[in-house]
């Protein structure tokens, strides 16, 4: 194609390939020199180039290199790990958490990660987990959410080129909040509300208070943590032994052990 005066022509793919001839690139196997031209009838001609489409495994791992995807896999893995511990999962969740954490870690080690921002993400996860353990502590919940969001937004030092998009980070944080506020408590209670151990079957069981009661708090019964309620005059403090006297929706009614009669 002839050049037209005053018109900037973009080079075609064939021209790009011709310019690559003789270029040397560093690879994990050592330097590689590219030869894209061959001589036919005394004229340099671009060789036949075959483009290989990456397999599904390569494409999947490339997805994790996106800042938002790496953050998503990391937070999902951490959340499911906490879910496995507190909701008494069957073990499948642990496998999903391991895969998610592997993908999130693989993406972050291949990105220009800000390690202080990564520490903020872990801090946020720890505060959210503590909030769940304490029966929904609002200060820990708010601080954990803010820390996780700020850590996600700043987790990659992309110099304006591959920075994380804040609204995708926000969606991931909201998904984590959904798990901690709704999914984990419901599943934790549903697993103990089976045909062999219904809600009424909890009455009479003994447990330990793990938080102060004002009058609501958290107790641990048969290895599971439940939100519970007690009379204000019960004066329950962490470590006090309690007995379940009734079930009120998602709350257990408890009294100090020895006073149930």
Q: What is the DSSP string of 151-213?
A: HHHTSB--TTTSPPPHHHHHHHHHHHHHIIIIIHHHHHHHHTSSSSS-GGGGTT-EEEE-S--
**Are 210 and 170 part of one and the same domain?**
no
Judged against a pLDDT cut of 70, whether residue 223 lies above it is answered with: yes
Residue with tokens 């896999």: 73
- Flag whether 5 is in a domain: no
**Domain count within the chain:** 3
Residues 79 and 163 in one domain: yes
Residue 91's domain spans which residues?
Answer: 56-191
**Residue 11: its pLDDT value, please?**
60
Residue 72 lies in a domain: yes
Mean pLDDT of the region 23-36? 85
Quick one: angle between helices 67-86 and 92-109, nearest 10?
150
Which residue shows structure tokens 């804040």? 166
Residue-level pLDDT at 157: 92
Hey, what's the torsion of the CAs at 136, 142, 145, 146, to 10 degrees? Answer: -170
Of the two residues 196 and 213, the one the predictor is more confident about is 213
Higher pLDDT: 67 or 16? It is 67
Q: What b/e string do you get for 2-11 counting C-beta neighbours within 10 Å, with b at 16 or more?
A: eeeeeeeeee
**Model pTM greater than 0.75?**
no
Question: Residue 120: pLDDT above 60?
Answer: yes
Last residue of a domain, one of 142, 157, 191: 191
- Domain end position, chosen among 191, 208, 237: 191
For residue 200, name the pLDDT band (cuts at 50, 70, 90): low
How far is 209 from 216, CA to CA, in rounded Å?
Answer: 11
Q: Are residues 34 and 99 in the same domain?
A: no
| Domain assignment of residue 7, yes or no | no
Whether residue 198 is predicted with pLDDT greater than 60 in this model: the reply is: no
Q: What is the pLDDT of residue 89?
A: 55
- Quickly count: other Cβ atoms within 10 Å of residue 206's Cβ: 14
* 4/99: higher pLDDT: 99
Residue that wins the pLDDT comparison between 79 and 160: 79
Q: Residue 25's pLDDT is what?
A: 86
User: Residues 32-59: what's their mean pLDDT?
Assistant: 84
């Amino acid at each position: 194609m002839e050049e037209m005066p005053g018109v900037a022509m973009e080079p075609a793919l064939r021209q790009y390939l011709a310019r690559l001839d003789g270029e040397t690139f560093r690879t994990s196997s050592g330097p590689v020199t590219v030869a894209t031209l061959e001589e036919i009838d005394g004229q340099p001609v671009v060789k036949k180039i075959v483009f290989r489409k990456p397999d599904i495994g390569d494409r999947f791992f490339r997805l994790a290199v996106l800042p938002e995807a790496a953050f998503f896999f990391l937070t999902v893995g951490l959340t499911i790990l906490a879910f496995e511990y507190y909701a008494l999962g069957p073990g499948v969740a642990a496998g999903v958490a391991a895969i998610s954490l592997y993908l999130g870690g693989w993406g972050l080690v291949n990105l220009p990660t800000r390690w202080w921002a990564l520490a903020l993400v872990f801090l946020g996860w720890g505060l959210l987990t503590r909030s769940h353990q304490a029966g929904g502590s609002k200060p820990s919940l708010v601080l954990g959410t803010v820390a996780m969001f700020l850590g996600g937004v700043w987790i990659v030092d992309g110099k304006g080129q591959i920075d994380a998009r804040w609204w995708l980070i926000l969606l991931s944080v909201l998904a984590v909040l959904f798990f901690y506020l709704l999914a984990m408590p419901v599943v934790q209670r549903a697993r103990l509300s089976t045909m062999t151990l219904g809600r009424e079957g909890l009455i009479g069981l003994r447990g330990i208070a793990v938080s102060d009661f004002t009058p609501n708090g958290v107790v641990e019964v048969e290895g599971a943590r439940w939100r519970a309620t007690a009379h204000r005059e019960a004066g329950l403090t962490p470590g006090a032994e309690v007995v379940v006297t009734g079930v009120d929706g998602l709350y257990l009614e408890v009294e100090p052990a020895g006073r149930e009669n």
